[in-house]
Amino acid sequence: MRWDSLDREACSLSRTLAVIGDRWTLLVLRDAFLRVRRFEDFQASLGIARRVLTERLMLLVDEGVLRKVAYQERPVRYEYRLTEKGLGLYPALVALVHWGDEHYAGKKGPPLLHRHLTCGHDFRSVMTCSECGDAIDPREVKPHAGPGAKKRA
């Protein structure tokens, strides 16, 4: 199967990965969450090939994850900012970071901590159920076909 047909699959993960699933995009978004906004800054921070960065930023803008905002005229220069849709990726990103913290942090501990300003503490994210509010154990979840499902094997 070719990658560019993934967005036609009846699976929300496939559709999501068609947008943010390549090797660099999540790192671009990590930087965006850390307030990186300009082409040169992304490039310097990531060491990504410029052509690839151009492509990824364009795709993210097309998809409405980032938007271009002019920060000067003459010459017009744009920076890239997260949209609301982009902010919606935060839980996924944090979950990936915390998995890395747990399994790949050295003896010294994680390189980056996250402080919850509302309560003032460094936190880990906990996945809870929107219905009962309890923390979710993967073994207590049963996936089943939803309204948008096609029949599948």
Partner DNA sequence: TTGACTAAGTTCACTTTCAAGACTTACTAG
Partner DNA sequence: CTAGTAAGTCTTGAAAGTGAACTTAGTCAA
Angle at 39 between CA 18 and CA 104, to 5 degrees: 60
Residue 149 binding result from DNA, its own copies, none, given CB thresholds of 5 to 8 Å by partner type: its own copies
Which among 20-28, 81-89, 105-113, 128-136 is the span making contact with DNA, rule CB under 7 A? Answer: 20-28
- 62 touches its own copies (CB under 8 A): no
- 77 touches DNA (CB under 7 A): yes
Buried b (16+ CB within 10 A) or exposed e, 60-98: beeeebbbeeeeeeeeeebbbebeeebeebeeebeeebb
Residue 69 binding result from DNA, its own copies, none, given CB thresholds of 5 to 8 Å by partner type: none
Distance CA 25, CA 22 (A): 6
Residue from 45, 52, 87, 50 nearest 66 by CA: 87
Which among 49-57, 84-92, 95-103, 139-147 is the span making contact with DNA, rule CB under 7 A? Answer: 49-57
What distance separates the 2 farthest-apart alpha carbons in the chain? 58
Select from 7, 10, 13, 38 the one that contacts DNA (CB under 7 A).
38
Q: Which is nearer to DNA, 48 or 89 (CB)?
A: 48
- 127 touches its own copies (CB under 8 A): yes
- Contact indicator for 56, 66 with CB cutoff of 8 Å: no
Distance CA 58, CA 80 (A): 10
Binding positions for its own copies, 10-49, rule CB under 8 A: 10-17, 21-23, 26-27, 30, 33-34, 44-48
Binding-site ranges for DNA (CB under 7 A): 1-4, 22-24, 38-41, 47-52, 54-55, 57, 74-75, 77-79
